[in-house]
Chains A and B, each alone.
Chain A
Amino acid sequence: MIQANQLSRKYGEQFAVENLSFHVHRGEVMGLLGPNGAGKSTTMKMLTCFLPPSSGEAFIDGASLHDSITVRRRVGYLPENAPSYSDLDVHSHLKFVGAMHGLMDATLTDRIREMGVLCGLDHVMYRRIDELSKGFRQRVGLAASMLHDPDCLIFDEPTTGLDPNQIVEIRKLIRRLGEKRTVLLSSHVLPEVEAVCDRMMIIDRGQLQTMGTARELSRQARGEALLHVTFKASSEAVFDLLRESVKEIGVELRETDTPHSYAIHHPDPDYPLAEALFHAAVSCGSVILEMHSEQATLEDVFHKLTGGGQ
């Protein structure tokens, strides 16, 4: 489990991360979203003990960041761009990483074999890393981060440079890892976070903007219930009836090619608008051709919270 309390990091007088608090449970994949310079990588560097926090505290499976050697033993970290020793072959690199984590020879050999299969590296195991494609180097980084079987995994943009097939594979792998471990990953790719993560948080200028499941964030971003409906014929009677029963309802004619197309909204995002509209239409004998609720996408949420919409 990762628990961060009021975590801050300053560079000079500038806050890179400011009072960031969150927790990630075991068996959960948490996505860390934010524009460039939002503080995602700094957060990860603090959690992996590469940079100390200026203030605040964090715990990895109960171990404080002050106990950095214990934390580093418990965490598997894939830094941005998956750095690796390009002069070594894959096997030697993994052997070095394993030795640094104190794995004994017999265990290390087995773990390297397992990771080779898991990350699809078995056929390039004795090739120099500088001869490998970016995708394979990324896999080498992933294999190295999981080699010592850590309970907590922190991945900084794990699918950068991978082709679409590899992305799908790595997403599946992360999902599988997230079933038993604590996973925190950062990404710019919003659909990826949506596909892989149980929960996500959006940070901007070092501050937490929001946190929750994709559905919760979507609701927060929309802020109201919105329904798009198309009637077969004029339907003023339906709206009159609706306005009588639902006071705060708003109706607007949509500018589309289809006539009698309306947007209906209500300030309460949980209000059952579709149901109310259906009953009103039945009472008035109006025919509904199409009806759907409008959901805010993760892109909308991201845009709204990180200033992209300004």
Chain B
Amino acid sequence: MRGGVNRALAICGKEWRIALDTPLGYVVATAFLLAAGFFFGNHLFLIGQADMRGYFGVMPLLLMFFIPAMTMRMLSDEQRSGTFELLATMPVQTADIVAGKFFAVMVQVSALLALTLLYPATLALIGNLDGGQVAAAYLALFLLAACYVAISLYASALTSHAVVAYVIGFGMLFGLFIMMQAMPTLSPQAQDFLTAVAPLSHYQLMLRGVIGLDNVGALVSVTVLFLALTWFQLERRQWR
């Protein structure tokens, strides 16, 4: 067990090292912070609302573009360059590989979200900020990001081309987004089903400031489901 954790941490550390040594990580991080800053500033200065509802409303869209970019190389590059064979013949379980990759991206995403805490801090200085609601929203954002990372990681396991992985990951997240947009046009049964399983519906419920166990559970379940699918995809070679 401890060996597995150490190996997952070694994979996580290796991914961090690569992210810090290559320009892609910096480009994605800078672009994300600029875009988040733009939407925050837009609501505050142009619309003149000193709250963060608009900001948290647009964050899922930003994550939909940026998270597939952060995960696209994670497993596709390993398969393209042949290093997956190296990795899979080391004394490590496939689950540890998936966990290491997932935590590597989650640490990056968490660091980016932590940097955006500057915006609520600014707002707290100039107005009345509901700290509890913002904290709940950040927790929801973190859990939604975890869902998106797991979905994008699965996309990266499906192909050996990073760009194709991005397109698949973005396509899956966009599909979930479109489903939410189309929800009012669906039958009541379909609406109930989507409300129960779609990550965005749980995120929106949590934005109201109430952390429901069912909402947290649903977001965690989708994350675990896609991590399991990633594991399955990597193990498939064993059964071909």
Contact = CB atoms under 8 A, between A and B. Distances in A.
A85 B18 contact: yes
Interface stretch (B85-93, B122-130, B132-140, B194-202): B85-93
Contacts of A50: 85, 88-89, 237
Interface string B204-240: 0000000000000000000000000000000001101
A11 B238 CA distance: 11
Given A72-B91, A88-B21, A92-B17, A99 B82 contact: no
Contacts of B18: 85, 87-88
Contact of B14 (A49, A69, A75, A96): A96
Contact of B81 (A49, A83, A96): A83
Nearest to A89: B21
Contact of A99 (B10, B21, B89): B10
Contacts of B21: 87-88, 128
A100 B86 CA distance: 11
A101 interface: yes
Contacts of A87: 18, 21-22
A73 interface: yes
A102 interface: yes
B10 A100 contact: yes
A: contact size bracket = 20 to 34
A71 B83 CA distance: 19
B7 interface: yes
B85 A96 contact: no
A81 interface: yes
B30 interface: no
Given A51-B237, A88-B17, A79 B7 contact: no
Given A52-B238, A81-B82, A87-B22, A101 B90 contact: yes
A97 interface: yes
Interface in A94-126: 96-97, 99-102
B48 interface: no
A112 to B, nearest CB: 15
A254 interface: no
Interface string A180-207: 0000000000000000000000000000
Contacts of A262: none
A128 B22 CA distance: 11
B6 interface: yes
A92 B18 CA distance: 10
B3 interface: yes
Contacts of B22: 87
A72 B90 contact: yes
A101 B92 CA distance: 8
Interface in B61-109: 81-83, 85-93
10 contacts: A48-B89, A70-B91, A72-B89, A79-B89, A83-B82, A83-B83, A85-B83, A86-B81, A96-B10, A101-B90
Given A49-B89, A52-B238, 16 more contacts: A48-B89, A51-B237, A69-B91, A72-B89, A79-B82, A79-B85, A79-B89, A88-B14, A88-B21, A92-B14, A96-B10, A97-B86, A99-B10, A100-B7, A100-B11, A101-B91
